[in-house]
């Protein structure tokens, strides 16, 4: 009998151990440091008795906003940079950005309507002054660069959605008859008498025939792209509508943007049965009233599907989210630095990501996906890119921000939700995919030494050591 009892006890111990093993969470782990990027690590629970340096509490029922996607901007200078490498290298770069299995899995990207600061030079889709009927409207210029760029991306991932925004209307629609708002003799020929950085004063000619023509311009743009096989998912009415720049730009008084949306653009899209959404974007100032003055004009709110933020607009997103909790929000252009393309830039961008997602952003856009090694626009501003191509050696460099973007976009699928966290969560962003029953954690150890992080997920614990100055994506299957 003692022998049998011993067997029963042993069996219970083994069974208990098996159950504990069955409960163990499945964890995959990618890590990047300045010296070693995109490295696989094997998770093994840290069983040391010492208290973790940081504890993050995750409850998958504390669900916040749904995530709609990640991406960058299709710019002319990016396509020209891609033309410098071999066809195979170009294909590899595009795969690394858009492949839905092995790449960044970009699914939501931006494009300009006409020239932006990373165009080859100034153009709009109709520079024929007084052509209010838009008889000379044309997207032929885009067939050389932007349309091929988009189509190559959509060959890799047919589900890539494209949204569009103008930096400047046709120049004849502005009082100055010029694309710039600020004179700079080195980069534009705007007369000094038209140069002004004053905000809240519209440079657009706010008369009915100009409003009507500009609404028609948007409608023709969407329809022309549809004819090319590219659906425009949304239009954002004006890039940085408070900023007078030496490159294509147009300052608007917020109430005038409200008039344009409520009385002209919204009704035009309705009349033409255009399905593209209309967004208030892109907001680059922190004042809430510069958003509400647009949305609350007349019935503008009826037509506005979302709000996009960039640069100093990060100061407005919290208040906008509180004021319009059901409105979709987007980070539209990550701050692009000064061409440093270094680890410090990636650290800065992580903090931007944290800020935007903590304040309700549903999506996050990089800016230039690819540039040459100078990073310079045609108007003199040197900026970062995810990937750099040397115009002399043709060497291809994947910059730290490429890997940071991939640490999120490759793992956080559209339809996932942002999770509210507690504890020492200032360096962690957490998402939940209900379909896969997975938790995705992007954690940054900003210290110069290894730190032990503990993640309490529902009733389970993950404790592990994160390397110094490392980005880490932990995917946990519950």
Domain boundary among 411, 436, 456: 411
Contacts 24+ apart (CB under 8 A), 351-355: 352/314, 353/404, 353/408, 353/429, 353/442, 354/426, 354/427, 354/429, 355/314, 355/317
The whole-number pLDDT of residue 23 equals 54
Strands 451-457 and 39-41: unpaired
Residues with Cβ within 8 Å of residue 13, at least 6 apart in sequence: none
133 and 271, same domain (yes or no): yes
| Same domain for 55 and 165 | no
- Residues 151 and 43 both lie in one domain: no
- Return the CATH number at 32: 2.60.40.1180
Question: What percentage of the chain's residues is helix, strand, coil (to nearest 5)?
Answer: 30, 25, 40
Domain encompassing residue 330 = 68-411
Q: Does the structure show a pLDDT above 70 at 13?
A: no
Specify whether 241 is located in the same domain as 101.
yes
Report yes or no on 1 lying in a domain: no
Residues 6+ apart with CB under 8 A from 158: none
What per-residue confidence (pLDDT) applies to 7? 41
Helix 400-409 to helix 343-358 angle, to the nearest 10 degrees?
A: 30
Cα(387)–Cα(395) distance, rounded to whole angstroms?
A: 10
pLDDT, residue 37, reads 98
Does residue 2 have a pLDDT over 50? no
The pLDDT value given to residue 5: 44
How confident is the model at residue 217, as a pLDDT? Answer: 99
CA dihedral 157→159→165→169, nearest 10 degrees, is 90
pLDDT band at 10 (very low <50, low <70, confident <90, very high): very low
Give the residue from 253, 232, 231, 230 showing the smallest Cα distance to 241. 253
Assign residue 232 a region (left: φ > 0; alpha: ψ between -120 and 50; beta: otherwise): beta
Same domain, 269 and 181: yes
Q: Tens of pLDDT along 343-399?
A: 999 999 999 999 999 999 999 999 999 999 999 999 999 999 999 999 999 999 999
Please give the Cα distance from 308 to 331 (Å, whole number): 6
Among 411, 434, 459, the domain boundary falls at 411
Helix (H, G, I), strand (E, B) or coil at 256: helix
In the chain, the number of structural domains is: 2
% of the chain beyond a pLDDT of 90: 93
Identify whether residues 238 and 185 lie together within a single domain. yes
Residue 54 lies in a domain: yes
Residue in 410, 406, 457 with CA at minimum distance from that of residue 430: 457
Residue 2 lies in a domain: no
Residue 305 placed within a domain: yes
Q: What is the pLDDT of residue 1?
A: 45
Q: What is the pLDDT of residues 228-265, one digit of tens each?
A: 999 999 999 999 999 999 999 999 999 999 999 999 99
pLDDT for 435-457, tens place per residue? 999 999 999 999 999 999 999 99
Quote the pLDDT of residue 467: 98
- Helix/strand/coil for 273: coil
Q: CA 7 from chain center: how many Å?
A: 61
Same-domain check for residues 330 and 453? no
407 and 449 both lie in a single domain: no
Chain segment 202-237, per-residue pLDDT in tens = 999 999 999 999 999 999 999 999 999 999 999 999
CATH code, domain with 214:
3.20.20.80
Span of 10-19, 159-168, 324-333, 358-367 with lowest mean pLDDT: 10-19
51: in domain:
yes
In a domain, 10, yes or no: no
Residue 13 lies in a domain: no
Q: Are residues 430 and 404 in the same domain?
A: no
Clarify whether residues 55 and 179 are in a common domain.
Answer: no
Distances (CA, A) of 3 to 6, 17, 118, 141, 153: 5, 21, 81, 87, 69
- In this prediction, residues 291-311 reach a mean pLDDT of 98
Residue 219 covered by a domain: yes
- Residue 218 shares a structural domain with residue 260: yes
Which among 411, 434, 458 is the end of a domain?
A: 411
Question: CA-to-CA distance for 404 and 444, rounded, in angstroms?
Answer: 10
- Per DSSP, the three-state class of 455 is strand
Tokens 């958003």 map to which residue?
Answer: 291
The answer on 290 and 406 residing in a single domain is yes
Q: Which pLDDT belongs to residue 149?
A: 99
């Amino acid at each position: 009998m003692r022998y049998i009892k011993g067997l029963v006890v042993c069996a219970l111990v083994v069974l208990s151990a098996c159950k504990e093993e069955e409960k163990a969470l499945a964890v995959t782990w990618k890590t990047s440091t300045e010296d070693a990027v995109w490295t696989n690590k094997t998770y093994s629970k840290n069983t040391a008795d010492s208290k973790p340096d940081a504890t993050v509490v995750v409850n998958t029922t504390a669900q916040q906003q749904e995530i709609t996607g990640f991406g960058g901007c299709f710019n002319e200078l990016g396509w020209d940079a891609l033309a410098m490498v071999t066809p195979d290298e170009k294909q590899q770069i595009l795969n690394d950005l858009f492949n839905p299995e092995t790449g960044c899995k970009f699914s939501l990207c931006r494009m300009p309507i006409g020239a932006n600061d990373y165009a080859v030079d100034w153009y709009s889709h109709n520079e024929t002054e007084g052509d209010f009927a838009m008889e000379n409207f044309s997207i032929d210029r885009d067939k050389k660069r932007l349309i091929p760029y988009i189509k190559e991306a959509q060959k890799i991932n047919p589900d890539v959605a494209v949204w569009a925004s103008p930096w400047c209307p046709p120049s004849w629609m502005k009082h100055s008859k010029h694309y710039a708002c600020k004179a700079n003799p080195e980069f534009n020929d705007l007369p000094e008498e038209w140069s002004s950085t004053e905000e809240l004063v519209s440079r657009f000619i706010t008369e009915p025939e100009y409003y009507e023509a500009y609404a028609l311009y948007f409608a023709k743009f969407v329809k022309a792209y549809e004819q090319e096989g590219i659906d425009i998912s949304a239009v954002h009415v004006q890039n940085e509508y408070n900023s007078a720049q030496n490159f294509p730009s147009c300052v608007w008084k917020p109430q005038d943007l409200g008039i344009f949306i409520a009385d002209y653009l919204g009704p035009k899209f309705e009349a033409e049965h255009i399905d593209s959404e209309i967004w208030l974007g892109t907001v680059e100032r922190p004042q809430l009233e510069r958003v509400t003055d647009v949305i609350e004009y007349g019935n503008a709110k009826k037509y506005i599907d979302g709000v996009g933020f960039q640069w100093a607009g990060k100061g407005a997103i919290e208040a906008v989210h509180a004021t319009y909790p059901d409105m979709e929000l987007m980070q539209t252009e990550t701050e692009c630095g000064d061409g440093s393309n270094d680890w410090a830039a990636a650290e800065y961008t992580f903090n931007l990501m944290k800020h935007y997602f903590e304040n309700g952003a549903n999506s996050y856009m990089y800016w230039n996906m690819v540039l040459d090694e100078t990073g310079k626009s045609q108007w003199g501003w040197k900026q970062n890119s995810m990937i750099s191509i040397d115009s002399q050696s043709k060497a291809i460099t994947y910059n730290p921000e490429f890997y940071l973007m991939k640490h999120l976009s490759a793992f956080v699928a559209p339809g996932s939700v942002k999770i509210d966290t507690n504890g020492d969560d200032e360096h962690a962003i957490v998402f939940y995919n209900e379909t896969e029953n997975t938790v995705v954690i992007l954690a940054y150890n900003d210290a110069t030494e290894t730190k032990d992080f503990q993640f309490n997920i529902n009733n389970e614990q993950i404790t592990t050591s994160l390397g110094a100055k490392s980005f880490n994506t932990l995917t946990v299957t519950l």
